[in-house]
């Protein structure tokens, strides 16, 4: 951790006690902050909501949000007695009216769109924009009222022009005795090079709206006036309505082709340009494996698109044939070259632990086997499809076959394995059989499992789960309560939905075998609907129902006790652990960071215990149990050997942080180092370790390794050169003949196995084909491209996030920052 580098205390030669070690390593993490009073929290909540509204409005004004923010402005309302802000309101910039800020979208609809605001012009509101094409006639168009619309959304009397390079067509509503039932707001942009099917004196007319299509309508009068001015014009009626315009355009194209048979539409490309374009297209399909189907390339409109660009069509057979084989060979050769250049590597396998896609809900059964290189990059090796439960022995065989396939006779080239499963069996067996290997469990999975541990062993989680299930079952099953709940949800948040209940949990009885993730979704639903639930039990009609029902009485009494505080405590802890796990997944820490990361998490959980008055001893026992199950002696060794964690003592030396280790962890360092070197070098390595402990690293090199810079994306301070820790051992610390061999092989090891994410459709898509060989080639190409771009995201998740931006902004605006003390 970064905080380690700022500590300036001297080390001791004797191993410290566990208590002293914990105290020392605690210095690596931030100190707890004092709690705020109730009034200060309320002011903070109001300010936070106000700042959120201002941020959203600022984005909207720049064109990245809802239209109504141009007319609505958030303001702070202050308490006249204390002068402190007490609420956030929305003020209409047009009429100065003030409204609640709970639902800006509803305010805009009721105040602006429905005509309540006297100064609002509906032209500024979003609506269907007619396509303006061609040259407008010199005569003025009929007046239009944009406020009044008919049943199909078209504008009354909305005539328009269709222009080509040779002539102009005036398309106006057809003259009819009776108005049609449906209006047609039509506009058709013709191609610039199209040839008209009619003469320049032809006026093409389609059936229009009911308001402007009568015999004595303004549009008809205007059109009749034009005919009087141009007696040579021929009035042609398109009886098929606007659908005839497409056929009319085709007719124009046919006429043009017949008149100029030698002309070729679109641009003409050279053979080299065509080949290059098709190669780019094929690579795009391969690299988006599972998202883009081969059949979609034969869609008529896609073929038409290629034709407009001057490109020939591309078939499924072409994509899945020689072109695919060639691209696979190129990717495979690049991967082999990069592995061959490295002196050693680490195998990473992710997917043994079944995962459920957050987008589709389907179980993903594809294992990624990748190779982590010392320079910080990774290359894909193979994909393994699994069906259902995977036995440890099978995983062990797959991993060892992969190592032998890469290394040949030089098996020590593989330093170790990091995997999301099988730490106690497959990984341990391989490590015991091959003394040079360091096999680790994924820390993203390890931290996440803390949630499962707490949900099983903390009574608090059982109480909250049982209580939430009672609330959700009562609200969802009692019709009167459910009706009121949905009504108040819509009133408070602008949306309504039933509370989610985990499958198999509706009958009560605690968590049981129910996974905690769906339980947490229920907890989030109850917490986010706190205000609506409170209003339900204050409603007179619901009070009668709840008084007549024993469960209703219990729930009402429960909500007046510690229910909300306990609910918020569970939600807070789960969010804390999930946030830490997501940070680990994103940053992909090295093995030397494991001890500081777990100590940082320990400190945050102790702060949580103090805030919610939870028994710290019980929580510590659960935490320590999970820590020991994840711990590996290589954590301590890498922490000591990584120059990034050196501590400057009072004499100015940068020394390894032995004082942060317990006595057992110090012994682990000695044992691991002697195991990783030959028997002849063991005593030399231990002597060099003592030298490293007393002399450390030159201050200039230590400061260069520990140099940090601000990340432009996240804004956090990060290591400027992550490879410098290993490079110092390889180039500068050459006096440590044996110890440096261990250091360079340990420092680069990854502590997580989570890499890129597959699209949920990939497994189903690949296994549905008979040719598994082609599927494997496509997977290899796609994975190789993702790792090369360092793109670890999931396209489906990105799409879901993109399409939920608007609704998420509304949720942020509508969400009431819940304060348990107010209920």
What's the mean pLDDT when you consider all of the chain?
76
| Range with lowest mean pLDDT among 379-393, 425-439, 784-798 | 784-798
Contact indicator for 787, 383 with CB cutoff of 8 Å:
no
Residue 35 has pLDDT above 50, yes or no: yes
Instruction: Quickly state the pLDDT bin for 359 (edges 50, 70, 90).
Output: very low
pLDDT in tens, 293-308: 777 788 888 888 888 8
pLDDT in tens, 333-351: 998 999 999 999 999 998 8
pTM of the full structure: 0.65
Place of tokens 């830490």: 580
Residue 175 or residue 764, greater confidence:
764
DSSP-assigned letter for residue 560: T
CA angle 135, 137, 143 (to 5 degrees): 115
Helices (H), 549-593: 550-559, 563-587
pLDDT in tens, 720-747: 888 999 999 999 999 999 999 999 999 9
pLDDT for position 793: 57
Residue 314 has pLDDT above 70, yes or no: yes
Instruction: Quickly state the pLDDT bin for 113 (edges 50, 70, 90).
Output: confident
- Those residues whose C-beta lies under 8 Å from the C-beta of residue 235, and which sit 6 or more positions away, are 203, 205, 227
Residue 4 has pLDDT above 50, yes or no: no
pLDDT in tens, 781-804: 888 787 877 665 555 555 555 555
Residue 544 or residue 454, greater confidence:
454
pLDDT in tens, 217-273: 444 444 444 444 444 555 566 777 766 777 888 788 778 777 765 445 556 788 888
Residue 180 has pLDDT above 80, yes or no: no
pLDDT in tens, 640-657: 999 999 999 998 899 999
Report the greatest alpha carbon distance in the chain.
111
pLDDT for position 599: 95
Contact indicator for 182, 195 with CB cutoff of 8 Å:
no
H-helix or E-strand containing 160? strand 160-163
- Those residues whose C-beta lies under 8 Å from the C-beta of residue 487, and which sit 6 or more positions away, are 496
Averaging pLDDT over each range in 311-325, 698-712, 787-801, which range is the top one?
A: 698-712
Phi, psi of 717 (to 5 degrees): -80, 125
DSSP-assigned letter for residue 221: H
pLDDT for position 401: 93
Residue 191 has pLDDT above 80, yes or no: no
Place of tokens 């990774």: 378
């Amino acid at each position: 951790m970064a905080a380690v580098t700022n500590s300036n205390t001297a080390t001791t030669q004797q191993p410290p006690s566990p208590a002293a070690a914990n105290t020392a390593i605690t210095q690596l993490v931030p100190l707890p902050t004092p709690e705020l009073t109730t009034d200060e929290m309320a002011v903070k909540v109001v300010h936070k909501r106000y700042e959120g509204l201002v941020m959203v409005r600022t984005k909207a004004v720049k064109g990245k949000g809802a239209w109504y923010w141009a007319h609505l402005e958030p303001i702070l309302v202050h308490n006249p007695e204390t002068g402190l802000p007490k609420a956030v309101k929305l003020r209409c910039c047009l009429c100065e009216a003030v409204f609640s800020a709970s639902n800006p979208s509803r305010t805009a609809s009721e105040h602006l769109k429905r005509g309540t605001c006297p100064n609002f012009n509906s032209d500024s509101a979003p609506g269907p924009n007619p396509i303006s094409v061609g040259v407008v006639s010199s005569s003025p168009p009929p007046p239009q009222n944009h406020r009044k619309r008919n049943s199909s959304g078209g504008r009354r009397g909305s005539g328009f022009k269709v222009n080509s390079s040779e002539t102009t067509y005036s398309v106006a509503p057809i003259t009819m005795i009776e108005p049609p039932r449906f209006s047609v707001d039509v506009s058709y942009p013709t191609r610039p090079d199209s040839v008209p099917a009619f003469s320049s004196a032809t006026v093409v007319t389609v059936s229009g709206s009911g308001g402007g299509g009568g015999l004595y309508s303004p549009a008809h009068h205007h059109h009749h006036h034009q005919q009087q001015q141009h007696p040579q014009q021929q009035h042609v009626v398109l009886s098929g309505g606007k659908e005839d315009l497409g056929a009319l355009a085709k007719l124009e194209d046919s006429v043009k082709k017949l008149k100029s048979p030698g002309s070729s539409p679109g641009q003409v490309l050279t053979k080299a340009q065509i080949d290059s374009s098709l190669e780019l297209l094929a690579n795009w399909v391969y690299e988006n494996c599972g998202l883009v189907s081969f059949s979609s390339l034969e869609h008529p409109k896609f073929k038409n698109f290629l034709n407009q660009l001057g490109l020939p069509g591309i078939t499924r057979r072409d994509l899945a044939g020689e072109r695919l084989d060639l691209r696979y060979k190129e990717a495979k050769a690049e991967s082999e070259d990069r592995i061959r250049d490295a002196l050693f590597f680490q195998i990473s396998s992710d997917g043994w632990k079944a995962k459920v896609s957050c987008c589709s809900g389907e179980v993903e059964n594809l294992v990624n086997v990748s190779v982590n290189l010392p320079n910080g990059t990774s290359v894909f090796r193979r994909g393994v499809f699994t069906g259902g439960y995977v036995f440890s022995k099978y995983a062990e065989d797959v991993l060892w076959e992969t190592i032998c396939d890469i290394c040949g006779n030089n098996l020590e080239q593989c330093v170790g394995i990091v995997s999301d499963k099988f730490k106690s069996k497959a990984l341990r067996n391989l490590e015991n059989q091959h003394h040079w290997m360091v096999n680790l469990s994924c820390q993203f999975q390890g931290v996440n499992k803390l949630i499962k541990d707490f949900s099983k062993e903390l009574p608090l989680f059982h109480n909250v789960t049982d209580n939430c299930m009672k609330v959700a079952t009562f609200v969802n099953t009692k019709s009167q309560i459910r009706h009121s709940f949905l009504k108040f949800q819509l009133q408070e948040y602008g949306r309504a939905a039933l509370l989610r209940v985990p499958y198999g949990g509706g009958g009560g009885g605690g968590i049981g075998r129910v996974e905690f993730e769906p339980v947490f979704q229920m907890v989030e639903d109850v917490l986010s609907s706190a205000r609506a639930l409170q209003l339900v039990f204050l409603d007179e009609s619901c009070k009668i129902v709840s008084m007549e029902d024993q469960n209703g009485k219990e729930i009402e009494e429960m909500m007046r006790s510690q229910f909300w505080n306990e609910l918020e405590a569970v939600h807070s802890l789960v969010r804390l652990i999930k946030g830490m796990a997501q940070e680990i997944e994103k940053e992909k820490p090295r093995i030397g960071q494991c001890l500081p990361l777990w100590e940082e998490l320990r400190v945050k959980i102790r702060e949580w215990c103090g805030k919610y008055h939870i028994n710290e001893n019980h929580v510590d026992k659960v935490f320590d149990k999970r820590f020991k199950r994840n711990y590996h002696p290589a954590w301590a060794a890498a922490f000591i050997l990584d120059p990034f964690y050196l501590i400057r003592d009072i004499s100015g030396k940068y020394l390894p942080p032995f004082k942060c280790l317990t006595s057992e962890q110090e012994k682990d360092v000695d044992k691991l180092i002697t195991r990783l070197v030959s028997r002849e070098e063991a005593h030399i390595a231990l002597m060099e370790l003592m030298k490293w402990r007393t002399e450390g690293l030159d201050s200039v090199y230590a400061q260069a390794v520990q140099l940090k810079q601000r990340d432009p994306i996240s804004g956090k301070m990060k290591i400027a050169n992550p490879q410098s820790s290993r490079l110092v051992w390889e180039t500068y610390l050459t006096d440590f003949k044996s110890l440096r061999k261990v250091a360079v092989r340990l420092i680069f090891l990854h502590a997580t196995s989570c890499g890129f994410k597959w699209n949920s459709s990939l497994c189903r898509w690949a296994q549905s084909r008979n040719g598994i060989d082609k599927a494997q080639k496509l997977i290899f190409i796609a994975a190789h491209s993702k790792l090369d771009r360092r793109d670890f995201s999931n396209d489906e998740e990105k799409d879901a996030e993109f399409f939920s931006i608007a609704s998420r902004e509304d949720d942020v605006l509508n969400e009431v920052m819940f304060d348990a003390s107010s209920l």
